[in-house]
């Protein structure tokens, strides 16, 4: 199992998302998931972003509708500052997970589960924590 906490391995994990489309946005109790037909990125701190020029912050009104718009969008860039943010870029759209200690409700702000050799979501395919 790959557990990465340093920026080099974390950058490598985010590189795995390059060129992948968001297949689902899930709202699970107190966190949000982005699914990529395999890998899953979980935002354990409240995400925020910009879609279509409109800023949003979860769980504010309208944020869920804007987050659903990321479905079918392709990751074309990312930004990682381990003490501040993890951001995915989709053209002019941006999905941001705050990583600062004030934003997280516990020891982690986000994590990603990769896919195994059979293409199924599994920690055997990698597990990264921010």
Q: Quickly state the pLDDT bin for 61 (edges 50, 70, 90).
A: very high
pTM for the model: 0.87
Look up the CATH architecture of domain 3-129. Answer: Alpha-Beta Barrel (3.20)
Band (40; pLDDT cuts 50, 70, 90)? very high
Give me the pLDDT at residue 8, please: 39
DSSP 8-class letter at 126:
-
Quick one: pLDDT at residue 4?
41
* Rounded distance between C-alpha atoms, residue 79 and residue 30, angstroms: 24
Look at residue 122 in the predicted model and tell me its pLDDT.
72
Whether the per-residue pLDDT at 24 is higher than 50: the answer is yes
> What's the rounded Cα separation, in Å, for the pair 61 and 56?
9
Q: Round to whole Å and give the CA distance between 23 and 111.
A: 18
What are 66-116's pLDDT values in tens digits?
A: 999 999 999 999 999 999 999 999 999 999 999 998 888 789 999 999 987
């Amino acid at each position: 199992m790959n557990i990465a906490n340093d920026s080099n391995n974390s950058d490598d994990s985010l590189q795995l998302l390059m060129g992948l489309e968001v297949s689902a946005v899930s709202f699970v109790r107190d966190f949000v998931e982005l699914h990529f037909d395999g890998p899953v990125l979980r935002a354990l701190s409240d995400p925020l972003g910009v879609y279509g020029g409109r800023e949003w912050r979860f769980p504010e009104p309208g944020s869920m509708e804007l987050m659903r718009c990321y479905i079918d969008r392709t990751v074309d860039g990312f930004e990682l500052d381990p003490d501040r943010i993890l951001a995915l870029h989709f053209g002019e759209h941006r999905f941001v997970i705050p990583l600062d200690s004030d934003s997280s409700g516990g020891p982690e702000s986000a994590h990603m589960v990769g896919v195994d050799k059979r293409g199924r979501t599994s920690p055997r395919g990698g597990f990264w924590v921010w």
